[in-house]
Amino acid sequence: MRIAHVVGYASICAALHLAGCGSLEPSAPAVTPAVAVAARVDIGELEHGRLIYTTRCVECHAAERIPRYSRAEWMEILPRMADEARLNDAQDRAVRAYVMAFVTR
Ligand code: HEC
């Protein structure tokens, strides 16, 4: 492998801020049936939310670790960021449900 390839690959990883460049954990934890039951939200809604979180919410910055902010902080952040990402109502609801399923405080 040529050096240019190595440097290119490393900078893509750095740009995406992906742990090990192969996984979005823990910034975007996977949805499981147990999480859906605990959150009392349809698992399809949570999967949709995770998709938005990992595609639309990373257009300007890396995906934030959800537990870094409290529920109250997310309630203030999400409407602003939904505007930034130009989400429609269904996408807004889904990403909100996803984030709220993983807040810890
Ligand atoms: C169009 C660019 C853009 C998109 C898309 C975007 N953000 Fe942001 N985000 C920003 C900017 C700029 C800041 C820092 C300044 C600010 O807070 O407005 C920020 C800050 C944040 C912060 C730090 C807390 C804070 O209030 O500053 C969080 C958390 C966050 N974004 C989450 C998200 C989520 C979740 C989404 C998807 C719904 C998202 N962002 C989509 C531009 C964006």
Give the whole-number percent of the chain exceeding pLDDT 90.
73
Spatial contact of 105 and 71, defined as CB atoms under 8 Å apart? yes
Residues 81-91 have a mean pLDDT of: 97
Which of 76, 84, 89 best tests ligand 1's pocket when mutated (most atoms within 8 Å of CB)? 84
User: Does the global pTM surpass 0.85?
Assistant: no
Mean pLDDT of 50-69: 95
Half-sphere exposure of 52 (CA within 13 A, CB side): 25
| Weakest-pLDDT range from 23-27, 66-70, 75-79, 88-92 | 23-27
pLDDT reported for residue 15: 46
Nearest-Å Rg of the Cα atoms of the chain is: 15
Distance CA 41, CA 21 (A): 30
Q: If you average pLDDT over residues 13-42, what whole number do you get?
A: 74
Residues with CB under 6 A from ligand 1: 56-57, 59-61, 64, 69, 77, 81-82, 84-85, 95
